[in-house]
Every structure is written in structure tokens, then in C-alpha cells.
Structure 1
């Protein structure tokens, strides 16, 4: 192991801060945890596990160089270890490979080992949920004869890609689920299925039962049920090179042949634009869907969303409202909001077309970190201002009943 070399990675000969190679988030992690220690430092760790062995590990710390050194060293030491052995790593094991580590900073090693054990616990929970295909639910209320359970279907749409549509779809679905509702999330963005990454489900396999495809049920996300094209790809980097009829057939299968059960809401992460795929989604839902439109503040995005509004109206698709994403930037250090782009584009668009404005979500680096770690922002940072904005959006959606229902 690197020992003193790791320390030198943090602070080079010129006194500049140089981070270790395994400092930073690890995409597609199988275990993740973070802890804020008594000293105020927050350490986070990610683990990738293959066949019971830790194949890769990474860590971050917002503390001093000794905290960074300890956390990254712990992550380095467990690479190649069986999961069953990694939890036995001791403080003395770590200190033995850290040359001249100050006694006053030993608490950094203790904190790093605590985070490691929590990441291992998280991995165990994920293994348990990966094979979970059913979830105990409250019984569906008994309705009068002739009255059927209503399921509302929300098409989360955008006029162009790159506006954070999938991020909004995931966090809206989780926000609805934590209100005690039965929620499904289906990813029909054929050319860019990102839901598996955002929910750490890239290694998940789905199965077919007597009644169709069985969705993945995430008990730790309030029983959220999930289905994505990404579950069917052998390699997440494989492109989907299909012509229109094949794509439309897959969309039909995902919307009609999945055993969703008695959902209150089905959130559909639609392909961007106003072409064949979103048209197919709307047609397969047989005019029973409602639209939530996502835009960024810039004019280049709002112009495209204006097309989506007209697209929805031509299909008689009720529009529940507009969400303005990336509305200002929140600094991680001072928490001040800066308007990198102009703001208010979504609200002005809503006023122009006479549709509700559901809310504005600012840019926050933590949103990207949460997505890379496979955890919805509203779960990981529950109680934060952005999480509360999503809660407000979810409640606004609940209170809006379209004429079709």
C-alpha cells in the first residue's frame, strides 16, 4: 500500500492540495454511506462488489488532508477483499500503512472505518432488495360496486434532452411515494435509459410472470415499483439501434405488459422531443395520461417546451404544469444562490400558455452526487429546501384533477 505516498498525494512539495486517485464518487456503486463525525468532517465511501469481493472503492471527505488521507487509504485497503472480511479492518491495520500519521488525527481513521462498515451494511441491504419482487402493502380500499380503482399516469416530458427530465421524474415519483401513495416509475427513454443508474439498479435483472413482466420493488424507497429498458440491456453502454415500429412495440410492452398492480400513480419518464416515441407513449396510454413538462430557464429550452405544450394540446393531453429545472446555482460552501442562467423562463412560459407553474429546482452539485451514488436526492437529503420543493410539486400534482378523471 502507498502509506506516506498517499499523504504526499494530498499535499505535494509546493504545498498545493492534490487529491488521491480514489477520491470522489464511484459510479454504479453497490454500497454507499456517509457519516459526519464529532469533528464536523463528513466522510463518504462507495464500494463496487463483484462475486462477493470488493472490486473498487472510493471516498471523499470535506475535512483536512489527514481526513482525506485516512478515508482514501481505508478505501484502497479493502479493494480485493471479500466483503465478509472487509468489516474486520482495524484502526491499527490502517495506521500501520500510514507513515508518520499524527496522533491527534487518529479520530479520522476511526471515522473512516465507521463509514466503511455502514457502506458494507448498505451493500447488504441492496442485495436483499435486489431480489425482492413483492412488497407488503396496505390493502386497496374496497370500492362500491361498479367503481374501479383510479390510476393517474403522469408523462414527464421535455422539448429537448439535457434538461434534467429523468432527475425530475425520479424525485417526483419518490416524493409521491413518501406521501403514502402506491407509485410506479417506468423509463421509456429508449435511447438514454438513466433510471437504473439513478436508482443503482444497473445490475438488476427482471423476470416475466404469468401476468407479464414483474417490476423491481424498492422497499427502502417507500415501495416504489420500477421498470426500465436498461434492465434488458446486457451492457449499459449498448446503443439501441432500432427503427420506429420496434421502438413502439417495446413502449407498448412496457406500458401494458408490466404487473403494476393497483397503483395510485404511474410516472413515465418519456423520451425527449415531440417525435415518434412520445407520440407512441401518449397513444398507448389511450388519452388517460397527464403531462408534467420540464424546462431550464434559457430561451433555447423554453422554445422547445412551447412545442411540447402544443404537442400535448393537439393530443388532448391535460398539462398539470411546468417545472423549471437548473434555476440558479447553490454554492456548496456559502449556500448562496447565483443565477448562472437567467431565471423565470418556466414561470413566464406557464403564464404565456395559461398552465400551472409547479416549481423551480436550482442547480446543486449534491444532485449530481446523489444520482451517481444511485440515491434519489429527496431521499438522501430529505428536509433540504430542494427536497421540500419536490414535496410541494408532488402535492400540487395530487391536488390537480384533470377533466379526464
Structure 2
């Protein structure tokens, strides 16, 4: 490290390596633990990769893509990627273990349902909040976890602005409002405090919010994921068994393109897909009652047919949905007779019916 040129750091190399995906998968080689270490000497960078396979073609492809990515960093002259096959792993090393080996069910929680989206701005948190509250209204003991570490919004949407309490045995008591137990990193931060964390810290925070919260007995835990297919999503599927995931999109092609990526991620980690919710599907004029499809028609339906999963519902574009979120009064409670609220309740009823098909984790197997 003493001969390292100014401006070249391990963190910079790690950031670049997060753009390198494991061949055939959507997760990167840093988050998945393939990168075992590195050494920087002058303008030379050595990266050690540990595989959980003996396939030579994967090793060769990873060596090439890793060296190309690091070589593009300003100040780097030469790169050597040392790729170790499964049989070359050191006994007991993290890279020689199944990344899902530490997965375990949350005590007392029957079902874990992730609400995800491929891109931001599609109303994922609004959908997660209203589904959770609707499930609670139907009689299910329901929890809501805000796993959007960089942009937690559940405290605002659920109308809670307090500091959490930690017991003597380091268990975090969830807040309860509108009949729902909830947890969020937002409760631990100031209102305007940014989260400037790298991947390992984000992954640790997700694990702590999941495992250290005293959820008690729950029929369903709804998890509001951040947009995309990054550290949080991978940490979740490696930490707890998912009953399934709900994908949220808007009708236009740009949002649907990212839904395909999200669906592929859950498929590759063997997490079942429950269905798709199409948000902001259409606008109903309050004066004449005319329905206008602001973005386009049928995108969610086409994608659900392509994936072989249900279209759970189409949520209309309604200013009241936004207003109730800002006020901490979820639509299904504060305006239960509106078309959007009725659709949320119908979606929750469908989810309840799907969950009732099995009693343990992951009873739904829609995508093979």
C-alpha cells in the first residue's frame, strides 16, 4: 500500500468490481463473496477470486472481465486476476461455503413477502404499505419492514416519527400503528440524514433489521425493497426464505424493461414470484368519469403473461393516494371506498389466498 499511487485505493477497485457480474447471473462478484482479496503495488493490481465451481470456462470468463474492468481505472497499468476453483479453496474460507448456508426463518413469522421494483418512482412503497395495512384489516397479523436503506419512506407513510427502543438483550421493539408492526432504518436516523454507506454496511443493516427486531408472531411480513437488483435484494434472499415476491411496475416499456430484470434476479436465486401490480394504470376524470390511460395500456398484463404469473391488480392514478401517503394515513384506511383502495384490498385478498395454500415458507412455486 505504501507504493500505491495517489488516488488509487482498494475501495475504488471494489466499486469497479461491483459492475462485474458472475457469469449467467445478475449478482456481482463483490456482493456474492467471490472477491477474496486484492493487493495494490504501484500501478499493479492483483485480485483474488474464489469460485464455488470447478468450471474452467467460468474461471476464464471471470478472469477476463475482472482484468478488463480494473484495467480501465485511471492510474492502473497492469492487472492480474488470480481465479481459484472450488477444489483450490482454503478449508473453512467464506468463499468455500454456500452463500445461502446461513439462511434461517424468522422465529414466529409464517410468511415473508418482498415487494420489489426494477426502477424507482413506480410507487412500490405505496403498494407495500397499503397491501400490509389491507392484510391487517383482513385479520392477518402483519409486519412491514422498510428495507429501502438509502431512501426509507415507511415512517412517513405510516405516520410514525419516534426513536426505537432497544431491550436489555439487544432486541429492537417494532413500532405499531394502524394495526401493523413496522421497522425501518428511518427510525434510527435524523429526518434529513443521508445514508452514505458502502455495500457491506448496507447488508449488515438489512440483516440487523430483519433478525434483531422482535417481530413476535406474524402471519405475514411485507418487505419494501429498494429499486433495482443490488446488495439489499441479495442479502434478503440469503438471510431468510421468501414465500414470494410481488413486482410493482407502471404500464410503460421503460418500467417493464426493469421488471424483467427484477424477475430474472428472483428466478435465479429460486425466490418464487407471486405476481405483478401495475400502478398508475389509468386516470379517471373526477368530473366526467372518463378513464384515460396516461402511459399506455396492457403492459402489466403482457408481462405477467410472459412470466407466467398473475396480474394481481391495476391501481388507478389518483392524487388522494399521494396525499394519504404524505399524511401517514394509508389509503385503505383513510379512504376505503375509493377505486384505488378497493383495488389494494382485492390484491391483498389474492395474496392472502395464495399464502393460505401452504403453512411453511415458500409454498408458492410459480417460476421453475
Give the TM-score of the pair, scaled to structure 2.
0.66
CA offsets 1:16-41 (integer angstroms, 9 cap, x no match): xxxxxxxxxxxxxxxxxxxxxxxxxx
- The two structures, once aligned, show a CA RMSD in angstroms of 1.5
Distance 1:312 1:242 in 2: 24
**2:110 aligned with 1:151:** yes
Match of 2:199 in 1: 244
Match of 1:140 in 2: none
CA offsets 1:320-339 (integer angstroms, 9 cap, x no match): 10000010112333343211
**2:320 aligned with 1:366:** yes
User: Is this contact kept in 2: 1:157–1:165, CA < 8 A?
Assistant: yes
Match of 1:291 in 2: 245
Distance 2:125 2:108 in 1: 27
Structure 1: give runs of 5+ residues left out of the alignment.
1-147
Secondary structure of residue in 2 paired with 1:327: coil
User: Is this contact kept in 2: 1:331–1:364, CA < 8 A?
Assistant: no
User: Is this contact kept in 2: 1:332–1:364, CA < 8 A?
Assistant: no
- Greater per-residue helix proportion: 1
Match of 2:185 in 1: 229
**2:185 aligned with 1:185:** no
Match of 1:259 in 2: 214
Match of 1:209 in 2: 167
Alignment of 1:317-328 (within 5 A): 317-328=271-282
- Relative to structure 1, the CA distance from residue 198 to residue 332 in structure 2 (aligned partners, 3 Å threshold; closer, same or farther) is farther
Match of 1:176 in 2: 135
**Which moves more between the two structures, 184-193 or 207-216?**
207-216
Number of matched residues?
252
Equivalent in 386, 389, 394 of residue 340 of structure 2: 386
CA offsets 1:307-348 (integer angstroms, 9 cap, x no match): 111111101001110000010112333343211110211110
Distance 1:331 1:213 in 2: 45
- Relative to structure 1, the CA distance from residue 333 to residue 198 in structure 2 (aligned partners, 3 Å threshold; closer, same or farther) is farther
Match of 2:329 in 1: 375
Larger Rg over CA atoms: 1
Distance 1:334 1:245 in 2: 53
Distance 1:309 1:364 in 2: 27
Secondary structure of residue in 1 paired with 2:300: helix
**What is the deviation of 1:149?**
5.8
Secondary structure of residue in 2 paired with 1:226: strand
- Relative to structure 1, the CA distance from residue 238 to residue 332 in structure 2 (aligned partners, 3 Å threshold; closer, same or farther) is farther
Q: Which has the higher contact order (CA 8 A, sep 6+)?
A: 2
**What is the deviation of 1:394?**
0.7
Distance 1:404 1:259 in 2: 22
Alignment of 1:31-42 (within 5 A): none
**What is the deviation of 1:383?**
2.1
Give the TM-score of the pair, scaled to structure 1.
0.60
Match of 1:28 in 2: none
CA offsets 1:225-254 (integer angstroms, 9 cap, x no match): 1111110112x2221000111110000000
CA offsets 1:72-112 (integer angstroms, 9 cap, x no match): xxxxxxxxxxxxxxxxxxxxxxxxxxxxxxxxxxxxxxxxx
- Relative to structure 1, the CA distance from residue 395 to residue 170 in structure 2 (aligned partners, 3 Å threshold; closer, same or farther) is same
CA offsets 1:264-303 (integer angstroms, 9 cap, x no match): 0000000110111211122111x33410000000000001
Distance 1:210 1:357 in 2: 45
